[in-house]
């Protein structure tokens, strides 16, 4: 993950930038869909399915991940995002 501390994919990192209540509702929907057998994604890709479900519920569904940050569907002002931004600035000597 971009924080180099936790395991996971980029989507796991981005989930932490999502609205907590909405991501929780999306997670419940996905679990229900999995339990009824209507999903076909691998269990390891749950985070990918989750973030894209969340983004489908936003004002402009279907935006790519990066544009979702710019549009504030994913919150760039969260603590984890700010830590990543500061690390990136230090790494690139900004």
Rounded Cα distance, 76 and 80, in Å: 9
Counting beta carbons within 10 angstroms of the beta carbon of residue 23, is it exposed (0 to 12), middle (13 to 18) or buried (19 or more)? buried
Across the range 6-27, mean pLDDT stands at 94
Rounded Cα distance, 1 and 38, in Å: 29
Counting beta carbons within 10 angstroms of the beta carbon of residue 19, is it exposed (0 to 12), middle (13 to 18) or buried (19 or more)? middle
Rounded Cα distance, 14 and 73, in Å: 11
pLDDT tens digits for range 23-79: 999 999 999 999 999 999 999 999 999 999 999 999 999 899 999 999 999 999 999
- pLDDT for the residue numbered 5: 72
Single pTM value for the model: 0.88
Torsion angle of C-alpha atoms 3, 9, 12, 18, degrees rounded to 10? 90
């Amino acid at each position: 993950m971009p924080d180099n501390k936790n395991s996971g994919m980029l989507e796991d990192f981005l989930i932490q930038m999502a609205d907590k209540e909405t991501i929780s509702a999306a997670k419940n929907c996905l679990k229900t869909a999995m339990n009824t057998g209507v999903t076909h994604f691998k269990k390891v890709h749950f985070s990918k399915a989750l973030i894209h479900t969340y983004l489908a519920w936003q004002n402009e569904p279907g935006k790519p991940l990066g544009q979702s940050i710019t549009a504030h569907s994913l919150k760039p002002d969260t603590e984890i995002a700010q830590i990543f931004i500061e690390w990136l600035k230090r790494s690139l000597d900004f």
